[in-house]
Amino acid sequence: MATEIKVPALGESVTEGTIGEWLKQPGDTVAVDEPIVSLETDKVAVEVPSPVAGVVGELRAAVGDTVEVGAVIATVEDGVAAGEATKVEPREAPAPAPAAPESGDGAQTLSPAVRRAVLEHGVDPSTIKGSGKDGRLTKEDVVAAAKAKSASPAPAATAETSPAPAPAETGGARREERVKMTRMRQTIAKRLKGAQENAALLTTFNDVDMSAVIEAREKYKDLFAKKHDIRLGFMGFFAKASCLALKDVPSVNAYIEDDEIVYHDYVDISVAVSAPNGLVVPVIRDAQDKGFARIEKDIADFGKRAKDGTLTMDDMKGGTFTISNGGVFGSLMSTPIINPPQSAVLGLHRIEDRPVVRDGEIVIRPMMYIALSYDHRLIDGREAVTALKIIKEAIEDPTRMLIDL
């Protein structure tokens, strides 16, 4: 008996997705809840598991095909022994190239998390012995192999060793490669271009002395980690400082919908994090009611799941304000772009020692440039500058966050 594999519900208002990769091919055995296919939506990649154990039968869509929610995209033969299912290729479409084997003697495909780990650590999956079920390669296997590789000393040169031959001349040949944009990257491009076309974008800047926050982190980091089992980072400070600013300047936490302005009495902060397929913005719900530990845990969880590709549509739904930290990549200054329909985004940058004047003397302080990009249709310059100034003052004097000042 064949079980149909259908496109699951992908989130509110999402009616279709794109076949990103077939993780199983016709004739492959599959366990209950084992992923068969990766679907790309506008925001996330979703793995579709098999509801039964058996053998993959027919694939009814090819990589790159757009499929609607509820559509049958494959079948699984219940309880059929490996090799007994008829291999049916996707309809009149090139079959995807086989993935690299999971272990040196296997022919299983790599899961998305394992593929990402392989690319990140630059290891050859065919040289790693898998520790998972049926010898499948796991992410932990890849990480362990990478650590072992980096720990292995390079062979020492000897007097008898001949110098390596110079690389042969290539004749100046140049190559180019064309890669189809993923559905997520296409959506990102459309949304960002739409933000430029539909909003009156403007950016205001300020700089922040990070001395007080750095001192607080250094003083309490061990106690904080021991009590809450999470590292005390900078994002918690900026999230709480933003809540103060948005409370005092509500237009920065609002957005335009048709001919109305929608205000919010809560702060849902979208945090920009990097994922393998592009930038994603999961949301910290009700940040105004959360403490530092809960915010740091939310951010850490988002970062891990973005890297693993397990964020869901619900994780990124909504959001009233965005914080983007380009400083982790070394950015000194930038003009971040708003995340529609939101009206403002806070950009953070790298911290570096710079000379500043304090009490008439030139001193060295750890400084950071911060930027607030905003929709001038809704937010006046005075309001934007005021909001950024509140954030600056709260970071330079964290006590303000404790007494709501």
Which residues are the active-site residues? 376, 380
CB 62 within 8 A of CB 97: no
Could you say which DSSP state residue 249 is in?
A: S
What is the DSSP track for 345-387? EEEE--EEEEEEEETTEEEEEEEEEEEEEEETTTS-HHHHHHH
Q: Using a CB cutoff of 8 Å and minimum separation of 24, what contacts does 185-194 make?
A: 185/277, 185/278, 187/42, 187/43, 188/278, 188/279, 191/339, 191/340, 192/337, 194/340
CB 346 within 8 A of CB 321: yes
Euclidean distance between the first and the last CA atom of the chain, given in angstroms as a whole number:
67
CB 363 within 8 A of CB 209: no
CB 319 within 8 A of CB 331: no
For residue 88, CA distances in Å to 59, 93, 299, 331 come to 7, 12, 44, 50
d(CA 148, CA 346) in angstroms, rounded, equals 40
Which residue shows structure tokens 């970062």?
303
Report the run of H or E that residue 262 belongs to, with start and end. Answer: strand 260-262
Torsion angle (degrees, nearest 10) of CA 194, 195, 197, 201: -170
Q: Give the list of residues 6+ apart from residue 334 with CB closer than 8 angstroms, or none.
A: 326, 347, 349, 371
What is the DSSP track for 174-217? ------PPPHHHHHHHHHHHHHHHHS-EEEEEEEEE-HHHHHHH
d(CA 146, CA 157) in angstroms, rounded, equals 23
Could you say which DSSP state residue 250 is in?
A: G
CB 53 within 8 A of CB 67: no
Could you say which DSSP state residue 88 is in?
A: B
